[in-house]
Amino acid sequence: MATFEKSGKANPAAAVRHAHVIGWGMAVPETVMTNDDLSSFVDTSDDWIFARTGIRQRFIANEGESTATLAYRAAQHALEVADILPTDLDLIVVATATPENIFPSTASLVQDWLNAHEAGAFDLSAACSGFVYALNMASDSIRAGSINAALVIGAETMSRILDWQDRSTCILFGDGAGAVILRASETPGGVLSSVLRSDGSGGDLLAIPSVGSIDANESRAGANGSKLYKMSMAGSEVFKFATRVVSESVEQACQIAGVNVSDVNLVIPHQANLRILQAAARKLGIDIEKFMSNVERYGNTSAASIPIALCEAIEQRRIQDQDHIALVGFGGGLTWASMIIRWGISKPSEQHGSLLNRQRRHVQYRIAKWRSRSRRWRRRVNSKVRDLKA
């Protein structure tokens, strides 16, 4: 696959820039919480949860894990598969509803830890649709010629914003991160089309109020009396919304890409609820076997769910060269998004990272730690010197 140089100069024969997925990786916390574990402190059961959602377990971040640490681990795995250096990256986007901070962005922390010092970095907030939104932003930048390589991450610690006494929400969500690397190429394929949509009138159906909430200063509560920094959801309304928009947006993305729905080899949807996926498959007229589903093991990991499912689909050899892949997300906002990708790189079994690049990456990670600490130390020293001179 012919690619573009870091300088932005293409090979002479190149006419059009395409954004291809060249690397992928995922990370989940160490701790597993099963439905039986949940039933020890919530009025529920494994049978009740599985029958309504298809979920058996989820991963929950411990005290030493966070949105940023999970994102960093997923990014490292993606760099290994792509066999490129952090300094080759021009942009890092983290899609998340549970950022490490309001600011600095989670993406900036990952950029620092990777030593990707030539990359811009920002977080994107579009809830469970966020990963597809972020992938669209990065691929458009590549096609426009402003960047050549981007790291796109979906990362969440949903367990931190759940009301663990609310049976309607706490049974659904889990933590994790997934990442992909996009790179410019003259080879046709990669991201073919995207459909991004929003309906803010449904914002109260799925929400997490924050410090900017209109009610925050008066009652420390958000819309409809929901708690600050805690999720509230109108489950039945969200279910109806999701089953409608999944099929509609996939059809629209296929039309833009010039691909028939029947030509889609695999649909990788946001992993919210198995019943939603089954309903969407019926509406699209696609065999449910063409829908990637791992909600049973991970629950709903919001913006992380699509890249995690993508990584598992690749690992299971469910994606082959030139396959058409549909990604579709839906969630708070209300937002929804679909994307069609024509897979166009070597099979996973043929991805062999060079030993030299692997060593160089690990050196850069060590340099990143030293560099960050050194800069912080210099800032503190300079601040004390200024104070003494004042």
Catalytic residues: 128, 270, 300
Distance CA 60, CA 38 (A): 12
Element (H, E) at 91: strand 91-95
- The residue type found at 135 is L
Q: What are phi and psi of 58, to 5 degrees?
A: -155, 165
For 356, list phi and psi in degrees, rounded to 5.
-60, -45
Give helix 235-257 / helix 274-284 axis angle, nearest 10°.
40
Q: How many residues does the chain have?
A: 390
Query: What is the β-pairing status of strands 232-233 and 206-207?
Result: antiparallel
Strand order in the sheet with 18-27: 18-27, 175-185, 149-157, 91-95, 120-124
- Identify the DSSP state of 390: -
CA distance 110 to 93: 10
SS3 of the chain: helix, strand, coil, percent, to 5: 45, 20, 35
> Going by DSSP bridges, is the β-strand pair 149-157/91-95 parallel, antiparallel, or unpaired?
parallel
β-pairing, 120-124 vs 149-157, is unpaired
| CB proximity list for 214: less than 8 A, separation 6 or greater | none
- Inter-residue contact 32 to 174 (CB < 8 Å): no
346 φ, ψ (degrees, to nearest 5): -60, 155
Contact 279, 312 (CB under 8 A): no
